[in-house]
Structure 1
Amino acid sequence: RSRECLGGLLLQPLLEGQNYGAAAADGTQCPSVSVSRNNPAKRDCLVVAVLCFGNLINFIDWFIVPGILLDIQKYFGLSDGKTGLLQTVFTLCYMLAAPIFGYLGDRYNRKIILGAGIFFWSGVTLGSSFITESHYRIFVLSRGLVGIGSASYSTIAPTIIADLFEEGKRTTVLSIFYIFIPVGSGCGYMLAAGMAKSTGDWHWAFRVILGVADGFSIFPHTPFFLISLSCFLLTFSGSFVCSSLGLTAMAFVTGALGMWMPLFLYRAQVVQGVVPPCLQESCNSSNSLIFGGITIGTGILGVIAGAEAARQLRKINNKADPLICATSMFVSALCLYTALMVAQMNILSTFIFIALGELFLSVNWAVVTDILLYVVTPRRQSTAIALQILVSHLLGDAGSPYLIGAVSEFSPY
């Protein structure tokens, strides 16, 4: 019911200045939200709040599977390669759907596309919790469908923010919006692991997490029904191309980290003799809880630091944004490499360097999108974001989870 209310708010024409209090599917009344046409600032803040909430749910959904990866691997009896394929299929469907939604977002009602995407991906996630161990291929398919639903949100939501705010305020609002990427990712790990531990069944992570996320929604509902591959040619600037390639490198790293890091930490602890190998039906997911917390903390700090650094350094150098991105990526690479090297010797040092690596990775989120928004004409921003998603995921995190899984099969551990 709460998700229906969220979808309804995205569908309602916020400029109408009406008091909406529609009925949910069960006949009960959703809380009313009043938006005055005479107070555009308050209206814009409400829109941003809804978009941030949707982004939180989106990335919780992304990282449910990595949060309970060991349980899923045991349940379906998967090799590392097939396990990594789960995230690869998700990302492939996500990136292929992005250009379609970018095209639609530049031409049709964005609120309808956003609401339909939320409804679709949440329904598929819930349905995937009932898939049995003999239907691994259906489970893989369900993750692909979730990726399609998520693409609608990631493609269109930033352009709505761009329409509402000028360049100075836009950086601040984008930083708030992108904070919910690491926050949602970390919550996905933590909530999935916590629910699997408390219930003794990883399936409940899919069922309950969506309900918990929906419980925070207080928005009105309007019923909606059906939603209505073209790529529009862009005149690419050097800034767009270079920022897209940089985002691709970042996507490769974050895809591999997001899928494999909790399992990597567990195996490092086994090698060090800190924990025994998992021989029980339900495995210890404490690393997912810790990694989730690290992701939230470093993500919030990194996004804020990146946006603030961009605002201040632009006053000195108008090329500050790409310099910030390049520097943070280089430092992140050094930290993550060090984490891999010390994993066999000291688990605490591994956690520290992973946290530093994620911190400097998160510096890029808002800055990269801001670069795109001020080098691409507003009429083609949804398409540009969609094509950037396509390229970065095609060459980045679409393959990295499977590639790392395949390489790990040759590891002696």
Structure 2
Amino acid sequence: MLRQTMRNVFDQYSQPENRLTHALLTALHEDRGLLALFLREIAGVKPPVAATHLSVLVQQLPETPPVSEEESERRGIPDGWVYSVEEEWCIVIESKVLIRLGADQIERHRRMAQRLGFTRVFVLAITTEEAARQRVEGEPRLKVLEWRKVYVWLRSHYGREWARRTAEYLEVAEARMIMDQQFVRGALTRFSGVPFSDDHPYTYLEAKRILRLLLDELRSRKDLRERLKIDPKAPGRGAITGSKGHIVWDFLSLRGDASKRFTSRPHLSLGIETRRLSVMVTIPDKVEGRVRRALREIGEDEFAALLARVVANLRPLLRAEPGAVPTFHAQQRRWRHRRAKADTDAELRFDLRTIPGAEGKPKKQPLWLSAAYGAFVNKRGSNYEFQIGVEFDYAKCAGLRKASATDLIAQVWLGCKPFVDLVR
């Protein structure tokens, strides 16, 4: 059984690996049905006795007095154990979050278990990076998997209290680590939807975590790479700031001159706001002259026709999510100093279906596009940028709360392809 040194799932060790292993093994100890599922579905092993007769331990050796976290680290004690002394059987669990997994550490843990008298030793390594598997290939009785897979597995058993609590703990832990800029590789969780609603209010930390996961998945999409020519290796914003603001945002780059700043090139923007998700193609105020000329030379009538094609491309998405709004958003801003919040001098936001020639119910009003397009053509040095895309209201778009929300986002950018082709 679990030793009395096991603490509450929300009680923190100092090391991330220890905190996460403690949370997971607490859940497995408290819910032995969940432990049986874990062994079968995650570890892929069949224990010699029922899960109710197994012992679960964190940060100490089986059948020995507990030691401090510092002493455990000094002695190289594995992060966790699931075992049966009578059957001489055990699973040694090693967790990696900020440090790489090495084959030598796996072998040390196996020898330690054998010295303790276990004759059947399995090792389960949980890491944040898939590449860890390649560094320990060929190790017998070893399974390596990512924390993200454990998270998805926990969510698949969300009806069980301890699975739900542990999945939610992983989300909180990941948000804090992103905030502290501790993550270099990998992730703890996987995107499972944008959860914000009246019952689940927006928070900066959670929005930042979700944004990171979203962009990781979007960078890997073949349709965006091949049809829009995004650059999946290009970095996004250097630092996601704005904890006191109403939006957390980042972007994907289009292939081109990687030496140029994103403020001079069109890019695909994704913003998680307090009340909505905005998926846009952005023309920044300092966009390079080539793009500015292309937009001027096309003329207002052809520009309107091009945007009408975008609306037509978005028709399937708008049928699936009637609460989504195809949007033109333009604004002129200025900053008092580099780190100051921008002052907005002017802003124009309208439904793209108001453009003559575009399909949809809103009443046609050509003046909105004339004002926005004219302000860009005649901007004369003002900090004027504009975006086209779709805004999804959390209260009206239930599809955002599913993992398939990545498909909605990709559909928006792919629907904007006629515009992207003009400005890329």
Range into which the TM-score falls when normalised by the shorter chain: under 0.3
More strand by share: 2
More helix by share: 1
Structure number with bigger Rg: 2
- Higher RCO (CA-CA < 8 Å; seq separation 6+): 1
TM-score normalised by the chain length of structure 1: 0.25
